Every structure is written in structure tokens, then in C-alpha cells.
Structure 1
Amino acid sequence: MKLLLLSLLLFCAPLQAAIRYDIDDPQQLARVNDLTLSATVVEIFWQAYNHPSRPLSPPQAMQRIIDDALLAAHARQTLTPQQLQQENAVGFLLQVQQQDRATALLRKYYEKPLYQAIQQLPGSSLDGIYQFAEEINEQWLQQHFALLSRVNIEATAAQQQLAENTVIARVRLAGNSHTLSLWDIYRRQNVQGRLAIHNADLQFLRGQAKQRAGSLFVLDWTQRKMGEKDFNAVFQIVKNEQDKATLLRNMGLYADVHDDNPVLRDAAKKVTEAQVKAFYQANKQEFKVVEKVRARHIRVQTQQLADEVHEALKNGLEFSVAVSRYSVADDKHNTPAGDLGWLKRADKNRNWLYSVAFTQPQGAFSMPFRSPQNQGDIVYEIVYIDERVDGFLPLTDPTVRYEASRDVALKQLKNDFYQLQQRLRQQADISLNKRALTAATD
């Protein structure tokens, strides 16, 4: 922790951030904006961020937490509520994602004492705090919650009201009873989960209700264990992570698998021809292509035979001998059996075999490839490359313009983000615990 505090000081001072030493609470290390950080909270996120493939020190974790807080505050000031709260139609709600991540963080950090707490429950399991409403069965779900339209997988207004008023489970937490409605569970699902409930999958519903009961136990236990301030700080940091991701998405620096990147696309349109040419000249190797290959092939009619021929080639059988012995390739170009001649990138009648040949190194045979199902009889091909000639896409090729303009635009967007981050750091108002810092330097 001494290293953590010293690194925080070094992190702030060179950037001319406004630093105040006005924290007296011995349990608090630092405060930025409305976020107060204790040693426990920092350690929770350091454990989450640190990974063997991407090792991270506690000071770096602290820096990430502070940067996320600053970026999230900027997002809330500059983005509209609609942008900040935009939900994914097929994914989990933002609030659900926040709760699930916070729960996972707390469960991991308090893993051992949580396990001990569960052992003290009736039956030494979470089953002792959870009871599912037996009146909710498949017939009830089919009658009240079946989809009215397969086009749109969501509950109707009437189904939502019914679900909100339908208790499907009760959870006992620290002497208090907590009820779970059908809507509590339904709204926590992505599109696949909602569909399962509409399809009256009672086993799935029971499993989700039990999982939610376990999460509520974790949240209730950890809140009492760590106190309200630290508990809320965990959720605030997770919310900051979400809002930072939204900011990055709106700056063109982040898009999930369901999203386009319109900011990057628009920025790429503004890249000049001179910029494209400069990028091309500096990164010409990125546009390297196969111009042509001189190839031979073996064509057989079954996967089993293709595997046997490939194994024989690996064991030293000459490719020309294998062609004569096994290949059923017909000759349409008056070339020797199995000879494909020169396959050129510029050829107008290219087929799937070109793609196989162009991905193989010179002087080597390929694995067996199965022909596409929509291109005649199914056959299996083994290709040998006698000679390969590489070249470069010309500057006038549309692919060059597309790739270069996006790379140039992305570099500029990243630079804009870096400048923003530096400015936010310089303008940051950070409070430190001077007593803890003094103790660390003794």
C-alpha cells in the first residue's frame, strides 16, 4: 500500500492536477470527484484488472480507476441521456450488466468468507434461503406468458404488469424476506433468456431465480461486511466503466459485435488522398498480395482417401507420383495431369481453388480441402505450389483507400482521445490522505 500511495502522488503531480491533502479518515486513501477510494476498493479492482497475460500493479489499477472516473464524468457532461442509456436490443440491460459485474467482483474478493457464511446457512447451502413458488409451472407460463408474435421477442404491456405482480420466489436475507417477481427475472435476461421464459422453460426460470437469490445473498452479505461507502464505491466504479465505454463508442474507438462504427466511418471519409498516399508508402507491406502461383493438384472423391493421400505425402511420396496414382482431376487446358498451370489474381474466372492456392507457401502441399457444396460434385483437393509471385495492391485499388483511410482516421481519433485524457488529468481535483502518505514515506 505504500507503493500505491507513492505512485498515486507521482501519477498526479507531473500532470499539474489540483491535489489537496484533506482526507482524515484512516480508511480512505483518495477521492476524485464524488468517488472515494479505500484500500479495500482499490484491491478489489486490482485483483479484477490484473491478469497473467496482462500484469497490472496496484498503482496502475488506481490510475485506471481515476481515469475512468474522469472520463465517465466527461461523458455525463457531454453526451445526451439517450446516448448514455442506449440499450442493446438483444443483450442485457445496462443496469443488469452493472449489477452482475459488481456481484462477480465482490464474490471473487470475498470468496473464502462468503463460503464460510454459506456453510452457516440452513442445509449449508443457498437452498436454505430460497423458495420457489410451486404454483408457477409450465402450464401457467404457457397460458400467461406465451409470445404473441415471433417477430418481436418481448413481453406485452399486459404481460409485464402480470409479471410485476407475480411472485415466483422468496429469499430470506439476514432475517428479512425478499421477494422475486417474474418481472425481476425476465428483465435480467438477454433475448435468448427472454425467449426461454416465453417458451415456458420452467427449469431455466427456476435456475435463473436461484441464481438471482445467490446474487442477492452476496450483495447483502458484502454490503454489511464492507459498509455502505465502499459498497457504493464498487458500483460507482463499475458504472464509470460503462460510461467510459459509451464515451469511447461515441468517439469512434469502440464498437461491440452488434454495432457499426459511424464515427470512424465518417472520419475516414475526410482523410485526404495525400494522407492515403503517405500511409501507403509507409505501410506498403500491409498491401502485399499474391499475383500468381504455378500449381499442381490432386483431386479425390472422399475425405478418407484425401486423408490417406495427405499422410502418404507427409511420409515422402512424390507429389507427381501421387497425382498419377490417386487423382481424378480432369484436364481442361491440355496440361499434364494434375497441372493447374499459372493461377493469376487478375484472372476473371477465378474459383474456390484459387483461394486455396493463394494461401499456400511455395514448395509445400496443402491440407485436403473440400469443395463448396454449391459448385458441382463434392471433391477433395490437395494443392502443391511450385512457384509463387508476390506483389502489392496498387494505390488506386479500392481496398487500399478503404484500409488506409480507416487507419489514418483511427490514429487521429486515438490522438483526440489521448489529448482529452491528458486534459482531464490536468484539470482533476484529487484529495489524498496526507497521514497515510506520510506514513508510507517514513
Structure 2
Amino acid sequence: MAARHCVYMLAVLTRARACVAAAGAVLAAAVLGGAHAVAGTASGAPPAIAARIDGQPIYSFTLDTLWQQRRAGKPSLERRAALDDLIQVRLLAAHADVPAPKEGGGPSVAFAPDVMLEERLVATLREVYGKDIDAAVKALPGATLDSLVTALPPMPQQQLDAIFGRQGSLKLEIALTQEQETQAGTIDVLRYQLPGGAAASVTLFDVYHRQNVQGRLALSQQPASVAVLQARRIMANAFVLGWASQRFGAQSVADLRKAIDDDETVLALQRLYGIGLDTDSGSPLLNRLSSAASPQEIEAFYQQHKDLFARIDKVRARHIRVADEAQAQRVLKSLQAGASFGATARKMSRAADAGKGGDLGWVSADGSKDWLASLAFSQPPGKPSAPIRAPVGPNETAYWEIVLVEEQVHGVHPLQSETVRYQASRMIALKKAMQQLGEMIEQARRSARIDIAEVL
């Protein structure tokens, strides 16, 4: 199909997210049923190209796979819109300056980046082509992946102890030395052969590398059984990737892997810029831009966006205090049935102001509020609250409160308040960060030659 040159305006920050949806749990089950398959490339035929960026192809397989995946949640999504997203993410990822993640540097639940990338690739293939993959498994001898296993070599306990330490010893974390990793790499846990493929093996190091901290601890405690289980999952992933490579071509699968990696890079870039996070996020860039916001910028933002700093200045409220929760529930049911709050307070409340119908008067936001006044500020007007147990000490008698807000007076936080300074500076920082990211996208667009190779 004749290619046509296309230069188009990429929308700033409107679609940089979600070229690849979250695709199931890490280390998922071997084969899942999935969505309808996308038309594939005939074996041996050159892969179809959807677009080129500076001469580098984006394959139709990548576009169709991600389009089908996203249409599961958004049926109205057009193929061209999916391609626009894919191009924008690839452009932005190529220009992104994001610190590379470090294995072991994240939370204890984190996996190595290359492991996460492969898991997301395999999960995406399973999600979109699950029925075809399932059929390929059923075509195997015995209709199971077990038919691919050629050997489960014994793992001598002495070697396992040399790598992980003797069984029964208390371990909080497992981190093998270089020597232990090398030794683990010499131990085959499982040998297999994919249909039409060469013989392959999964080593103990392969299994170790694919675990997070908790998984490595489990591996060290029961190395033989855990290693075999995880090796089978590695083989299952290899089957899916081998099936996809035979069906669509290795180049196409590599391009899909790159698209998923690009998406992760863009998400990391967005986190760096605080995009998609709340303004209280710990983004270093947001923190720096926020601290640099001047008093003049804060005042200008405040004057233009006073609605963002709205608050309740004061409330007029009543309350009913009772001795136990059961009585409080009976009182609430009576109020919900239409009983007068003031009359009920005079009859049922054990507070000193019961004679005044539980009238708390006007409570100001600038005053010193006890817990009951704070409760009143948190309630919508005109509706009695649920019974709330008073936060009394261990040696004090408990009681329950029901509050009714009769009236609210609204205002705005004053310019000189800490609330305004903090919130305005964070929102100013977020706006600047979005502008910087937008400029990065625009620069990437201007510097790239984009050719659409299909009529969409």
C-alpha cells in the first residue's frame, strides 16, 4: 500500500497515557482465555507496517494488538486514534530523560524491570489472543504444556545449601553473591523444547532473577519445589512468545515489546512531572517548582481561582448526647421518621444544653474547635449525622453524639493562610510541569518525520 507522508498536531497530554492497559497480575497462570484474535501475518511474509517515525517502523501487529486490547474497555475507540496514541508515546519515550529503574531499588514487591516487561508482553498477548493460544496448547500431545518438558534434572541439596544457606535458618531477605548467582546459573531446573524450536532450559538463576524479595525468600526456603513451579511458568511464557513469533514474526513481537516498554517510560516520565498524581505527590520536579513559586504568582493564582480555596466559615448546629449506641440508633431512627431534632434533644439528650434543644450556636472555622465542633463542620446541612462515639479516654465513660447542621456560611481561605500558600504553589508547579512536558512533546513532534503507511 502506498505510503503517504503525514504531519499532524499531537494533542498535548491528552492521550500520552494508556497505550497499553494494565494486563493482569505478574506471573499469571499459564494460558488464559481471551478476546477475539486480530488478523495475523502469514508465516514468512514481511510484517505489515502501520507507520514510520524517522524511517523506523511501527508494525500493524503492534497497532492491532493494542487497539483490540483497549477496545475491550472502550469499544468506540477508532484504529486511527490508537495509532496516534502509539506514535505519540513512541516519540515521547525517545525524547524522555527518565532515570532507569534499578533492580532491588524499589519496594519489596518490585520485580526486575526486564521481568516486568516480559510479563506485561506475555499478559497482553494472552489477553488479546487467548483463544488462539489455548487452541495451540490443546493441539500439543496430551493437550498440556507438560508435553514440552524434556527433563527435570535433580538438584543436589548440597548445591542448594551452598547457594541459599542451610534449610531452617532464619532469613529476612535473600541476596545472592556474584559467585552464588554464577553457581545457580549452572543448575538446570527444567529442560524443554517448544514446537519447532531448539532445546532450551531454565536454570536456578533464571528462576531467582524473576522473583521479588518475597519470592526469593520462598525460593530459599523450599528451593526444589518452588524452583520447578516457577520454571514451568517461565516455560509457559516462552511458549506464548514462541507461538506469537511463529504466528506474527519475531520483528512484530519485538515491536510490541518496545511499545509496552515505551508506555512504561512515558508513565515514569509523567510521574517525574507529577502528571496524573495528586498535588501532594513526592515528585522531585513538583517539589522544586512549588518551592520556587513567588508570592506574586501565588497571589495572581489566588485571585484567578478563588473557587479552589472555598471553605465553610461557620456553621450553626445542634446535637443530642446519649449514653449508648443502641439508644443512639433509636434516636436516629426517630429523627429520620420526622421527629423534631430540638424537641428530641430536650427529651433525650444528657448534655448540659439539652434544655436549649442541644443548640451549639454558631461555630467558627477560625475558632478553637473541639471534636464535636469538628464533627459539625464535616456534616452536610439538614440531615442528622450517624451516631458517633466520643473519643474518650480509657477511664472515661463513653457516650454517643448525633449532630444536625442547620446552616452553613461559606467563604474562602485568606490569601496569607498556609492553606493558600501550599495549595496554590503546588497547582502552579503542576501547571509549569505540564507546560514543560507539553514543550517536550511539541519538540519531539517538530523534529520527527512521521509517515502513515496505511489508509486508516
SS at match of 1:264: helix
- C-alpha change, 1:59 and 1:249, in structure 2 (3 Å) is same
SS at match of 1:11: coil
Residue of structure 2 aligned with 1:271, choices 272, 285, 293: 293
Give the corresponding residue for 1:356.
Answer: 375
* Structure 2, gaps ≥5 residues long: 12-44
1:35-434 matches, within 5 Å, as 35-50=56-71, 52=73, 56-75=77-96, 78=97, 83-87=99-103, 88-90=105-107, 91-129=110-148, 144=166, 150=172, 153-157=173-177, 160-161=181-182, 163-174=184-195, 176-198=198-220, 200=222, 208-253=230-275, 260-324=282-346, 326-327=348-349, 329-331=350-352, 336=356, 338-348=358-368, 350-372=369-391, 377-433=397-453
Contact kept, 8 Å, 1:31 with 1:431, in 2: the verdict is: yes
- C-alpha change, 1:338 and 1:200, in structure 2 (3 Å) is farther
Structure 1 residue identity aligned to 2:444 = L
SS at match of 1:84: coil
User: By how many angstroms is 1:414 displaced?
Assistant: 0.8
Contact kept, 8 Å, 2:322 with 2:400, in 1: the verdict is: yes
Deviations 1:368-411 (A, max 9, x none): 33444768555443211122222211000011011111111211
- C-alpha change, 1:164 and 1:338, in structure 2 (3 Å) is farther
TM-score computed with the length of structure 1 as normaliser: 0.79
Mapped to 1, the partners of 2:364 and 2:389 lie a distance apart of 21
Mapped to 2, the partners of 1:136 and 1:338 lie a distance apart of 78
Contact kept, 8 Å, 2:389 with 2:399, in 1: the verdict is: yes
Mapped to 1, the partners of 2:168 and 2:205 lie a distance apart of 14
Give the corresponding residue for 2:18.
Answer: none
SS at match of 1:293: strand
Root mean square deviation of aligned Cα: 3.8
Mapped to 2, the partners of 1:211 and 1:74 lie a distance apart of 35
- C-alpha change, 1:213 and 1:25, in structure 2 (3 Å) is closer
Deviations 1:5-52 (A, max 9, x none): 88x8363799xxxxxxxxx96722322247422322211111233454
Mapped to 2, the partners of 1:287 and 1:113 lie a distance apart of 55
User: By how many angstroms is 1:119 displaced?
Assistant: 1.0
User: By how many angstroms is 1:234 displaced?
Assistant: 0.7
172-181 vs 194-203, greater mean Cα deviation: 194-203
User: By how many angstroms is 1:194 displaced?
Assistant: 3.7
User: By how many angstroms is 1:162 displaced?
Assistant: 5.1
User: By how many angstroms is 1:264 displaced?
Assistant: 0.7
- C-alpha change, 1:301 and 1:279, in structure 2 (3 Å) is same
TM-score computed with the length of structure 2 as normaliser: 0.77
Contact kept, 8 Å, 1:84 with 1:246, in 2: the verdict is: no
User: By how many angstroms is 1:337 displaced?
Assistant: 6.0
Structure 1 residue identity aligned to 2:309 = F
Contact kept, 8 Å, 2:388 with 2:402, in 1: the verdict is: yes
SS at match of 1:295: strand
Contact kept, 8 Å, 1:147 with 1:155, in 2: the verdict is: no
Instruction: State the identity %.
Output: 29
- C-alpha change, 1:298 and 1:132, in structure 2 (3 Å) is farther
Structure 2 residue identity aligned to 1:11 = Y
Mapped to 2, the partners of 1:110 and 1:429 lie a distance apart of 32
* Structure 1, gaps ≥5 residues long: 15-23
Mapped to 2, the partners of 1:279 and 1:42 lie a distance apart of 42
Mapped to 2, the partners of 1:372 and 1:51 lie a distance apart of 48
Structure 1 residue identity aligned to 2:256 = V
User: By how many angstroms is 1:254 displaced?
Assistant: 6.1
Structure 2 residue identity aligned to 1:356 = L
Mapped to 2, the partners of 1:25 and 1:12 lie a distance apart of 30
Mapped to 1, the partners of 2:391 and 2:229 lie a distance apart of 42
Mapped to 2, the partners of 1:258 and 1:287 lie a distance apart of 16
Residue-pair matches, total: 412
User: By how many angstroms is 1:177 displaced?
Assistant: 4.1
Mapped to 1, the partners of 2:184 and 2:325 lie a distance apart of 54
Structure 1 residue identity aligned to 2:49 = Q
More helix by share: 1
User: By how many angstroms is 1:232 displaced?
Assistant: 0.8
Mapped to 2, the partners of 1:54 and 1:292 lie a distance apart of 48
Mapped to 2, the partners of 1:256 and 1:402 lie a distance apart of 13
- C-alpha change, 1:117 and 1:52, in structure 2 (3 Å) is closer
SS at match of 1:99: helix
SS at match of 2:8: helix
User: By how many angstroms is 1:231 displaced?
Assistant: 1.0
Contact kept, 8 Å, 1:145 with 1:155, in 2: the verdict is: no
User: By how many angstroms is 1:94 displaced?
Assistant: 1.5
SS at match of 2:69: helix
Contact kept, 8 Å, 2:189 with 2:227, in 1: the verdict is: no
